[in-house]
Each structure stands twice: as C-alpha cells, then as structure tokens.
Structure 1
C-alpha cells in the first residue's frame, strides 16, 4: 500500500511538471513559428493548467474508469473555486477590472448548469460529450474572434488578455522548445497512467469509490497549477490573472475534460455524481457568481468571502468522507 501511495504522489508531481513543460515547449515553438503571443496566450497557455485534468480524463476513460474522470472534472472545479480562490483571496483581496472575466463569470455558471443537467439522469452519453467538446471549440473560436477584432479597432487594454500574452515565453530556441514539447508528450500520458492505476488500487483497498478518489486526491493534486499561478499573480499584483486562471480552467474542465468521459466511455455513471457532486459544483459556482459582485457594482472578492469559500471546501470534504461507509 505504501508503494502505491508513493507511486500516486510521484505520478502527480510528474504529471503537473510535465504539463508545465509541454505548455512551455508548445508556446515557445508557436512563438518561434510566428504565431501571435496574444493568440498563444489565449489558447495554449490558457489551456495549460487544465492539461493534467485532460490527460487524467482520457487515461481513466480509456481504462474503463469514467467515474474517476468525471470526479476529477467536478472535483477540480469545486477545488478551484472553494480552495484555490478562497486561499488566494485570504492572502490578498481581489479587485477585478477585466471585461473578459466579467463576461465569463455568467458563462461558467451557464455551462455548469448544462453539465449538471446532463449528469442528472446518472448517465453520460456520447452525444452529451460531443455537445460539450463542440462548445469548447466554439468558446475558443469566439474568444479569439472577439479579441482579435477589438485589437484591430483599438489597442488591447483588457488586463486579462495582456497578462495572458505576457505569460508566453520569449527567447527560447526552437531546439529547446521541441525538446520540452517532446518531454511533455512522453511524460504526460505515462504519469497519468500510473496515477490512475495507483488511484484505483488505493480506492479498492480502502473501499472508496473511483468517483471519490477523483473528487478529492486527484482533483486537489491537479488543481495545484491553478494555486501556484494564482499565488504568483497576486505577488505580481495581477488580480485579473489570478481570477482569470480559475474561471478559464473551470470552463475548460467542463467543456474539454468532462466531455472526454462521454466521448471515450459513455454510459451509466455513479449516482452520487448526479445527485450530490454535480449539484454541489453548480451551487459553488453560483456562490462565486454572487460573491463577485459587491455593493456599488464593484467586482471584488474580499478576505471574508475567501473564508466563506474555504468553509465550503472543507464542508464538502466532510460530506464526502462521512458518506463513504453509508
């Protein structure tokens, strides 16, 4: 058992590290090929924090464990809002001015509601997965179209877009870019495979469902990039990027991660995901929607709101583990 736990933790570290290197290599190579840093920032870099979840979802679904994939997607969204954003706001209250983020807050609520409705019958079909992945393509296309159109009319002044553009690596040789890209391509699926295998082993040994493992250990682990990115953002006093990373990651988790479970392994899912976890994800997202708007129309998340979000996260963990033996 100790060896399996060690494999899980080591695989998680390598998964997160290799995802970062994959994004670094892909972004640097794209820049060297003449692609606009703004486009790279809004696509490759933005998707980077969800790369671990995407790989876990694909691997788990291919191995016949779609509940792990679904649990990871749902758990990551709850963790991003309640734990990552809660801790971030506790360290430094967030004031947001980005129009992009203000548009995406209602959008993530709508997308989450749609996903919750899809899972409500305890079945996730291929067509539902297809709808979500098509939504992902449309979301990226619309984001690029709107941003590029505005950039032609006026200089970009949206802090979120500017900060995303600045995240693109510069001055990296094509050779180094390709090396890091290959390293990521090799280690990402390899570490994901070991992580899923060890998670399933541990879950069976302790009598925990694949769903709960995905909701807790894997979800928290794969949310570490968001936590690191948020902390670095507040250190740099980039409040927009701190919240933007979380909102963007949650949109990707539903459209690009959750969809993989339906596309690869459609069928019945753990009933708890339908009646407990997806509704809790929706409620947490709705809470974020309410908390983002203060009196006077200001877009601000205070320390008190951060504490509330943390209380929601820990309350959810208690709920999960209190029901394990039920």
Structure 2
C-alpha cells in the first residue's frame, strides 16, 4: 500500500515540477522576445515530456534499463492510441497539412532509426549523441517553419501562451526560481516513482519492462493528456495533435538521446522491445498517415479504434506477463482478424481520399 502511495506522491510531485519548469522557462523565453508560437512548439511541447525525461534519467543511473525503454516507448504508444483517441471522442480533430507531409513522416523516421539502433540490443553514447544532433536539427526546423505558419495558427498560439504567460508580469528572477524549483521537484518525484515502480514490479511478479510500458508510461504522460484535452475543449485541435506528435519525437530523440549519452551504462534493450514494442510504436505512427490523410481529420470512429487498440495492447502485455491460458486465442484473434481488417479499412480510406483528391485536381 505504501509503495503505491509513494508512486502517486512521486507522480504528483513530478507533474507539479514539470508545470513549474515549463512556466518558468516559457516566461523567460517570452521575456527575451521569443514569439508565443515558437514557445508553444518547442518549450511547451518538449516540456510536457519532462516527467519521462526525469524518470528515464533516474532509472538509467540506477541501472534499470527496462524502465528507460519501457517508459519512452510505452509513452509514445499511449500518446497516439489513448490521447488522440480520447481527444477525437471529445471532438473530431482537424489535422494540419504540415503534420501529414512533414511531422508524421519525421515521427515515423525517428522510430525506424530507434529500431535500427536497438537491433544490437544496446543503445550507447554514440547513438545518444546522434539522437541529440537530430533533435537540434528538428528544433531549428520547427523554429524556421513557425515563421511560415498561417495567421490562424499564430493566433491560436498567441491566445494560448501569450495571455497566460506574457501578461503574467513575472520578473526574470521569479521565473528562474520556477525553473530551479521545477527541476528539484522533478528529481524528487522521479526518484520516488522509479523506486516505487521497481518495488511494485517485484511485488506483482511482473517485469520492470511491463511496469514501464504500462503504469509508468501512462503516469508520465499526464501532462500531454492535460495539454491535448484542454486544447481540444477550447477548439484548438491542431495544438492537441501537434503536442502529441512533437512529444513523441522528443521522447525518442531527446529522452533516449540524453539518457543514453549521460548514463554510466549502455542502455540494454530487451529482445521483446526490439521484436514487439518498438514495432508496435512504429505501427501506431504509420497508422496515423492514412487516418490523418483522409479528410485531414480524426473522426470519433477512428478515436474509438485507437482506444480499442490501446486496450488490446495493454491486455496482451498483462496476459503475456501472466502466461495466461487465453493468450494463444487472443493472439490468433488479433493477428487473423482484427489487425488485417484494420489494415484493409485504412487502405480503403486512404484510397478513397486519394481518388477524391485526384478528381478535385
């Protein structure tokens, strides 16, 4: 009982720390003349991944590599299937063309690179350095592209960030205190969460990888849930999707990159992560393309599809960990019926959208 309490306390402290860190850094950036659009696309988008970064760094230094990969890969699966699913149920999500043409292909690309880097069962400082270089290049690209955004998108980011941040009139010293306090809380919260996760895994007889892919991944993604759901309710649905895509890219390039670069040990990659979990994350990214491409929106029906697949993914992890008798039947149902039917549906949707676009030209 106390272990679960410490897990929840660690999560609360971690989320509060991340919020303070993002607010402080955003106010500093706005005070230095950075536009609200750039702040929203970089500091806020990446800042929502602070809990994942803090937990992964703590896990790496404590030599729990399964928590590192489980946290990052599990968070990316959660972001696409659960967050986009929930947001689409609230209101169909409008997808910007830039996401379809640029950001989603980049998200797919970084997961392919992650799979290639993980293929030899370790991710070391060299791979981490390359990931960070890619992150710097991606951030520079985002800043460059922000100058070409439409007035509608710029206004949304101004309304969301300039009013709540720029007009708050916090002095730089107070913003710096926010940043330092946020960092401190993130360190404390990450420590509690990591230690609790290891204890829970041992008590339940589950692997640290399964705990990382489920409980830790969902918990550290709470800032992304809050940001995307609030943006959807406000009608700023492109921010909701952009937050998820940007966070997924940062989780791979930033979190795995930084963690593998500063970790005292190489990050060991479990065989199941290479053969199953990263491919699932990659498949989720690829599935976004035809769904995003059809009419440039995510419908409520597609949101239900995403949520259903997340439930199926979690069910598989738990059945597999427990070696349950129903696992073979579950696998047969998924691979012989559910997955093929989904791919056929996505193909038909993409083909229809292509035909409509071709006729309109």
Bigger Cα displacement from structure 2, 248-257 vs 29-38: 29-38
The CA deviation at 1:259 is 1.9
Counterpart of 2:358 in structure 1 is: none
> Which deviations, in whole Å up to 9, do the C-alpha atoms of 1:297-316 show, x marking residues without a partner?
x2111011111101110000
Specify whether residues 319 and 141 from structure 1 end up closer, same or farther in structure 2 by C-alpha distance, changes over 3 A only: same
Distance 1:232 1:216, change over 3 A: same
Residues 111-150 of structure 1: matches in 2 within 5 Å? 111-148=110-147, 150=148
* TM-score (normalised: structure 2): 0.83
Please, which of 170, 181, 197 is the counterpart of residue 173 of structure 1? 170
Equivalent pair of 1:26/1:44 in contact (CA under 8 Å)? yes
How many angstroms does 1:158 deviate by? 5.9
Q: After TM superposition, what 4+ stretches of structure 1 lie above 6 angstroms from structure 2?
A: none
Q: Which residue of 2 aligns with 1:153?
A: none
Q: CA deviation at 1:45?
A: 1.5
Structure 2 matches for 1:211-226, cutoff 5 A?
Answer: 211-226=209-224
Closer, same or farther in 2 for the Cα pair 1:4/1:159, shift >3 Å?
A: farther
| Contact 2:66 2:212 (8 Å CA) reproduced | yes
Q: 1:242 to 1:38 in 2, by over 3 A?
A: closer
* Cα RMSD for the two superposed structures: 1.8
The alignment covers a number of residue pairs equal to 316
Counterpart CA distance in 2 for 1:39 and 1:6 is 38
**Counterpart secondary structure, 1:64:** coil
Name stretches of at least 5 consecutive residues in structure 2 with no aligned partner.
324-361
CA contact (8 A) 1:73 1:253 kept: yes
When residues 54 and 159 of structure 1 are mapped into structure 2, their CA distance, relative to the original with a 3 A threshold, is farther
Shift of 1:214: 1.0
TM-superposed deviation, 1:97: 3.1
Task: Say whether residues 1:269 and 2:249 are aligned partners.
Answer: no
Q: What secondary structure is seen at the aligned counterpart in 1 of 2:321?
A: coil
Instruction: Report the CA distance between 1:162 and its aligned residue.
Output: 4.5
Q: Deviations over 1:229-262 (max 9, x none)?
A: 1111111111111111100110101110122342
Quick check: 2:20–2:181 contact (8 Å CA) kept in 1?
Answer: yes
1:261–1:32 distance in 2 versus 1, CA, 3 Å: closer
Contact 2:93–2:298 (CA under 8 A) maintained in structure 1: yes
Q: How does 1:193-212 map to 2 (within 5 A)?
A: 193-212=191-210
Distance 1:314 1:160, change over 3 A: farther
Report the counterpart of residue 349 of structure 2 in structure 1. none
Structure 2: how far apart are the matches of 1:102 and 1:238? 20
Partner of 1:293: 293
Residue equivalent to 1:312: 309
Given the alignment of the two structures, is residue 237 of structure 1 paired with residue 235 of structure 2, yes or no? yes
In structure 2, how many angstroms separate the alpha carbons of the residues matched to 1:247 and 1:44? 14
Q: Deviations over 1:184-226 (max 9, x none)?
A: 0211111111111111111112221111111111110111111
> Max radius of gyration: which structure?
2
- Taking the TM superposition and a 5 Å limit, the aligned residue runs for 1:61-76 are 61-76=60-75
Match of 1:321 among 305, 318, 321: 318
Provide the residue aligned with 2:181 in structure 1: 183
